[in-house]
A and B are shown apart, each in its own frame.
Chain A
Amino acid sequence: VRKTMADVLQRVAATGDVDAFRQLFESYAPRVKSYMMRQGADANTAEDLAQETLLAVWRKAELYSDDKGNATTWIFTIARNLRIDRLRKELTWVALPEHFDQEASADAAPDAILIGEQTRIRVQRALAKLPADQQQVVMLSFIEGLSHGEIAEQLGLPLGTVKSRLRLAYLKVRDALKDLQ
């Protein structure tokens, strides 16, 4: 499925293939909608934001290529920033990946992050293997969008415990990718 999705985006990029884009849309828009609803958006708002996320990918598809990351990274980071901007009504500070807005790459050297098929599989495996308490804080952070303090409050844990679980979870994911970097 992944490989197909990469192909789909390549087709979107190369030829502005609307059918290919429709395929990408049908795979990801419902997930982005769920992601928005987890932050408290109603169904209509969530659907609007999902449409907007995918449309942003469509508009920038020319910039897509395998060596610059991948479409799903775009989808996640665009959705993340839209959620901060529209649902939390806060300023977004963390930039989209550098190749998305080309002006950002003028000075900074491209970061040697290889985001390929292997990375994707290993991240998913590493996450699946995490102890339940670490999986829980990662989900609350990434999917529910809760801060360290909010997670501590929700789980009735000391702040330090939340931080160390997040840190341990990330170190395991990073370790699983060690020989790819």
Chain B
Amino acid sequence: MMGPLAHHPALESLLSCSAGAMPEASAAVIASHVSLCPVCRSELALMEQIGVALLDTIEADTEMSLRPELLANDDTRVATSDEPPIDAPPLGEIPAPLAYRVGASLDQLSWTPVSPGIWLHPIALEGSKQHTLQLYKISGCMALPEHGHGGAERTLVLRGSIIDGGATYRPGDVTEKGEEDVHAPSTGAGGDCICLVAMEGESLFDIPPIRASRLANEG
């Protein structure tokens, strides 16, 4: 179990998740952090009370009756102990929400090389194609070229560390960058860094591999 985390998502990002309004790639990063972070879990539970309060005040101009056949045919109301257990992924380096999609081991993932020292593992999303969710593996002690963003970029560190703007991000930590941010992160010493990255719009890592490699060399 990791200690208290140093870098959390912004409150407005958590709020958007609790509202169910966060684009799914970013929601994956935030929810994965939340599953590791009791502090943010408490915030989220509190934020959900805003949703509850608003649902209480929403105007309902229609009447609805319970469809009798639903309950009559409903023999599914069983005690939870009778339900087959959900296959909970073993606890590992991969946060539970993510483990449901990619498995529980970072060492068993397939990686596609992007440029020297950088590999990626894309995660399929159901909805918008404008957003991407990817795992990145980046060699330790590697400086990435300075880059801007076409939209928000949210990163959750899973292994190793990222140094960005004077701060060090360790496993469980989140860093959020906006359209206005230009940064040149690097990875820390001590082996590969693996992180989950959600991007809205284009950034360095949307550039095709060959160009990314050239940029890396120029940088």
Please give the residue numbers on chain A whose beta carbons come within 8 Å of chain B beta carbons, in ascending order. 16, 18, 21-22, 25-26, 28-35, 43, 47, 50-51, 54-55, 58-63, 70, 72-73, 75-77, 79-81, 83-84, 88-91, 93-95, 97, 101-104, 106-109, 111-113, 115, 119-120, 123-124, 127, 138-139, 141-149, 159, 162-164, 166-167, 170-171, 173-174, 177
How many of chain B's residues have a CB under 8 angstroms from any CB in A? 72
Q: Which of B71-91 contact A (CB under 8 A)?
A: 71, 74, 76-80, 85-86, 88, 91
**Further contacts, 4 of them, CB under 8 A, given A51-B66, A72-B52, A170-B50:** A103-B86, A120-B52, A127-B54, A177-B46
Given known pairs A89-B126, A103-B86, A148-B12, the reply for A84 and B20 (CB within 8 Å) is yes
Complex CA gap A163/B152 in Å reads 13
Please give the residue numbers on chain B whose beta carbons come within 8 Å of chain A beta carbons, in ascending order. 1, 10-12, 15-24, 27-28, 30-32, 34-35, 38, 41-67, 70-71, 74, 76-80, 85-86, 88, 91, 96-97, 101, 125-128, 151, 178-179, 200
Given known pairs A83-B20, A104-B96, A145-B21, the reply for A73 and B64 (CB within 8 Å) is no
Complex CA gap A102/B16 in Å reads 25
Residues of B within 8 A of A142 (CB): 19-21, 50-51, 54
Complex CA gap A43/B62 in Å reads 10
Complex CA gap A18/B65 in Å reads 13
Residues of B within 8 A of A51 (CB): 64, 66-67, 70
Residues of B within 8 A of A102 (CB): 80
| Interface contact B60-A120, CB-CB below 8 Å | no
| Interface contact B42-A76, CB-CB below 8 Å | no
Interface of A is mostly: helix
Complex CA gap A75/B127 in Å reads 24
Tell me the minimal C-beta distance from B111 to chain A in angstroms.
22
Complex CA gap A149/B22 in Å reads 10
Residues of A within 8 A of B10 (CB): 163, 167
Complex CA gap A123/B62 in Å reads 26
| Interface contact A62-B179, CB-CB below 8 Å | no
Tell me the minimal C-beta distance from A93 to chain B in angstroms.
4
Residues of A within 8 A of B88 (CB): 103-104, 106
